[in-house]
Structure 1
Amino acid sequence: MSVNCSDEEAKNAFLAQVRIKVISRLIELAKQYPSMCNKVNVRECFQSVKVDLKACKTTSRKKRSADGFDVDIKVEIPVVSPIVTDSSEPAKKVRTETVLQEDIHTQKTEYSSQVMPLHLLYSTYVGKKLTCANGTIPNDNNEMCEACKEGTYHDTTMDVCKKCPRNFYQNSTGQTSCKACPGPVNIYTLSDGSTSESQCVGNHD
């Protein structure tokens, strides 16, 4: 099946075939990573998958060969857990983003078929990003923002909560920095992640 950029019906048929293949791959992945879908009928998790054609252009081929078409496809996958576990290694947690990107790269032929030859030249995966205010980060389900806990601060560059380093503490939640032990005597802490000024001590062995 060739894609004619000027034929709207052909483009829609092409996108419908791509959607079928994408859903098929997601169902297979959900078997390996059960936490990707919490429904008994796995197919229900991916019925809202959307496939759109971002760009389509004609590419010249060699003589005696028909022109081809390069297409830029955008696939929107419904929100799933950002962290999944492999059924063969239940203790191992993997980012869903990593699973999908690796599958796109290593299983390219599975996204094609004999009636719809699709040659993936490159692909990128952009996970849904929840925007949170400073001092907060997305929770594990990527559904809401949670404040960094006491003893931690929000590293806005990495967008993670980090423990306060030694000789610093933080007794409030949702902060972007830690407080230095005041001194002049009690200027040390014995570990990272101190939550109170009372954990600042004078002796540092």
Structure 2
Amino acid sequence: MPSCVNLIGQTEEPARGGNPTAQGVIIYYGKCSDTATQEMIRKNFQKLVEADILSSSFCNASSLCNVGNIQVRCGIVNVRKRRDVQARNQIEVIISVQLPSSLEQTFQTEYDQITAIFQHLEYTLSSLNSSAIVDDLELTFVGIQNKSIEIECPVGTIPAPNMYACVNCSAGTFYDSTIMSCVHCDKGWYQDLTGQLSCKACQEFTTTRTIRAISEDACESACAPGYWSVDGVTPCSPCDTGTYQENYGQIHCIRCRGSQTTLLLAAKSPDLCQEFDIIFPPGQSKNCSLKVINAINTSSVSLTWWIQIRQDSSGKIIHLLNGNDDILSLYIERE
């Protein structure tokens, strides 16, 4: 039996067999400058390969074994021959063979099968006269290069490691058709089924503690705007002054821009960020002092600041001193 897999985004057992495709590049030396010659090579090669492979013992037990569209490319390559480097006309015949797959077969068994098919094809081509591929054209068979094996999986599944089979995307993930891979459900989303194409959203005002939630039970009460916690769910802490948070279920607060700050804790919007330099809490008075370490000789000094003042404030609100010398006093008088 094939080995089970236990990787992120995959179920613990294979979902179904995949369609492994063997690919290779058959190299010939010879000219094929015009498109008509290339098309003749392609058609004759298609017939030859299909007759050779599909009638062999490798494929006659299943109708799923087929040869894909063959491509022909022509160009000039430099070939080293003894001490000289010579330019050669090279023909590349790109071939793909799709094989049946079974969950009962191991990775090694199918790899050996595909390897045997290429060896069989290489033996056939090496003993074949070039006229069987195209008339009046001398071709020299070089070999089969760039041999590889790929597997095509149905939507919602991905290739399993160590076998030619496909596995469902696991619970807590979904299949992203753009990148053809399993992707974790984000915070605030969950997926309780395997092989799905999307995640399910938690109900309003709830979220999950982590990504890749596998049940609706993982949705908990989210921190409200203006609050945060390390996992976005209750218990929550208010955003500190100078920060805010607009959304539910957040793990941090956002700092106000520049020198802006907020009046109170738990700000819910950047509109609550304001520009000011000094704020005195209601009913309190504060003494502020500025110590000048390095004295500078100057004829004038300009001081500017923003001050927030409560609407019911009155009397002297600013008294600026230099030592014992009174420099400035600011009063508010109300009628």
Shorter chain as normaliser: what TM range? 0.3 to 0.5
- TM-score, normalised to structure 2's length? 0.29
More helix by share: 1
Larger Rg computed on CA atoms: 2
More strand by share: 2
